[in-house]
């Protein structure tokens, strides 16, 4: 059984994408599908490469009992060959990935909120300049949208299961 490799992408890889990755992994663990997916996250910029997730993201996630362990890194060309799906948090991230995408890759690009019934195609807001309420909003948004993404990929990639 092939695993589906999913890369979550934001700008800095310290707020949204490591949280999206942690939520997605938690959904796979709850649904018993962890053996079917490999996940990572990365940023379009290298400004925070090597850093731990933002303290505010860690505190917010811990308040909900979600642990995040990640070291920021920038998206690289090889990611388009080693991941099946690259999932952008906002339109800027998606445009960056579209410009970077090599012609000879089968990797698919998508916007996380393409699948969001509440506001399809919207951005996951960047909480960097926001307060604790925005981190809380992003937490719940990512929880909901990654659950939807997990259902979608599970049905699409592993229809017989
Ligand atoms: P992220 O948030 O893209 O969700 O990790 C940001 C992190 C850092 C910056 C902007 C957004 N920054 O400007 O340094």
Provide the CATH number for the domain around residue 34: 3.40.50.2300
Substitution site in 9, 11, 124, 130 for ligand 1 pocket (most atoms within 8 Å of beta carbon): 11
Q: Which domain holds residue 39?
A: 7-157
Ordered strands of the 85-88 beta sheet: 37-43, 4-10, 85-88, 108-111
- Spans of the chain, pLDDT less than 50: none
Residue 138, classed as helix, strand or coil, is helix
| pLDDT in the model for residue 1 | 65
Quote the number of domains for the chain: 1
**Is 2 inside a domain boundary?**
no
**Is 105 inside a domain boundary?**
yes
Half-sphere exposure of 66 (CA within 13 A, CB side): 25
Q: Tell me which H or E stretch contains 40.
A: strand 37-43
| pLDDT in the model for residue 157 | 82
Query: In angstroms, how far is the first alpha carbon of the chain from the final one?
Result: 11
What is the pTM assigned to this prediction? 0.97
Ligand 1: residue whose CA is nearest its atom 12: 12
| pLDDT in the model for residue 159 | 77
The first and second tokens of residue 73, run together, are 């890194």
79 is catalytic: no
**Is 17 inside a domain boundary?**
yes
Which residue of the set 40, 79, 90, 126 is catalytic? 126
Substitution site in 128, 134, 137, 138 for ligand 1 pocket (most atoms within 8 Å of beta carbon): 128
């Amino acid at each position: 059984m092939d695993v589906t490799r999913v890369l979550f992408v934001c700008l800095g890889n310290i707020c949204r994408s490591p949280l999206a990755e942690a939520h997605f992994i938690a959904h796979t663990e709850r649904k018993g599908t962890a053996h079917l997916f490999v996940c990572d996250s990365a940023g379009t910029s290298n400004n925070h490469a090597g850093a731990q997730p933002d303290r505010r993201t860690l505190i917010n996630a811990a308040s909900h009992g979600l642990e995040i362990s990640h070291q920021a890194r920038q998206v690289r060309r090889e990611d388009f060959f080693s991941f099946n799906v690259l999932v952008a948090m906002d339109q800027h991230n998606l445009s960056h990935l579209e410009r970077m995408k090599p012609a000879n890759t089968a990797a698919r690009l998508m916007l996380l909120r393409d699948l969001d019934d509440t506001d399809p195609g919207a951005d996951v807001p960047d909480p960097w300049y926001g307060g604790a309420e925005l981190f809380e909003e992003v937490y719940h948004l990512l929880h909901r949208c990654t659950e939807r993404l997990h259902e979608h990929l599970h049905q699409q990639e592993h229809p017989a299961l």
